Amino acid sequence: MKVIITGATGMVGKGVLLECLDHTDIAEVLSISRRSTGIEHSKLVELIHEDFSDFESIANRLKGYDACYACMGVSATGMSEAQYTKLTYDFTISLAKTLHAVNNDMVFVYVSGEGTDSTEKSWIMWARVKGKTENDILNLGFRKTFIFRPGAIIPKKGVQPSSRLSRVLINMLIWLFYLIKLISPKSIVDSIQIGRAMINVTINGYEKEIIRPSDILELA
C-alpha cells in the first residue's frame, strides 16, 4: 500500500508518519510539506511544495496512491475567518479535488476536530469552517472517506506540535490529559493510536464516516 501524508511536520501528521513507516503493509509514504520532516527512511519520499492552494501543478506526482492522510491544520487563535478558511478549507479542498481527479478510487482521511459543526451554523468560527470542510470532502466521491475528530491528543514517540505556543500548552496540560483519560478512558487518544487507526480504517473500512475518540481507540 502506498499513502500520502500532509502535515507530517506537525504533531498529528508526524505521529501518523511514524506509524506508517513502521507498518509492514505500507510500502511507500509520500510526505507533502513546505519543509523537510527531518526523517530519513527507505519508505519515505518527501515532496517540498510551497503553494498549498495549488496541487494541480504536482498532480502527476500524486498518481498511484491508495490513501491520503490529510493532517495539515492550524489553530484559529488570533485569525480572522477569512485567514482561517484559506488555511483550513481552501488548502484541504485544493488537495482533495486534485487527488480525486487523478485517483478517485483512493481512501481519503481528513483530520478535523471534536466540536466541529456539521450544520455549518455554529457561532464558533472554526467549528463552522471545519464543518464545511468535512461536508465538501465527503461529497467529493472518493471510494471511502473518513473524518477523524480526535479531540485532546497525548503525543508519543517524541512528536511535538510545530508551533511554539502549542508545544508550551501541551507540556503544561499533559498531566490533565492523563487525568481525564484515567477518569474517562475513551475520551483521550494518543498520536500512536491515531496513526494505527488511520491505517486500519484504510485496510479494513469502518461502519462510520465520522471517527471520534472511542472509534479511534477501537480501530487502533
- Confidence grade of residue 165 (pLDDT, cut at 50, 70, 90): low
**Per-residue pLDDT at 163 exceeds 90:** no
Taking alpha carbons only, the member of 56, 61, 17 closest to residue 36 is: 17
d(CA 172, CA 186): 22
- Confidence grade of residue 77 (pLDDT, cut at 50, 70, 90): confident
**Per-residue pLDDT at 98 exceeds 90:** yes
Look over the chain and give the mean of its residue pLDDT values, rounded to a whole number.
93
Crossing angle of helices 191-204 and 11-22, rounded to 10°: 60
d(CA 36, CA 217): 30
104-158 per-position pLDDT tens digit: 899 999 999 999 999 999 999 999 999 999 999 999 999 999 999 998 898 998 8
Task: State the Cα angle at 46 between 40 and 51, rounded to 5°.
Answer: 145
167-208 per-position pLDDT tens digit: 667 777 777 777 877 888 788 999 999 999 999 999 999 999
Identify the pLDDT of residue 186: 86
Full-model pTM: 0.93
**Per-residue pLDDT at 164 exceeds 90:** no
Give the chain's domains with CATH numbers: 2-219 (3.40.50.720)
Identify the pLDDT of residue 171: 73
Q: Do 30 and 68 contact (CB within 8 A), yes or no?
A: no
d(CA 129, CA 93): 12
The proportion of the chain whose per-residue pLDDT surpasses 90, expressed as a percent, equals 80
Identify the pLDDT of residue 82: 96
- Helix (H) / strand (E) element for 124: namely none
Identify the pLDDT of residue 8: 95
Grid cell, residue 95, equals 488537495
Q: Do 130 and 116 contact (CB within 8 A), yes or no?
A: yes
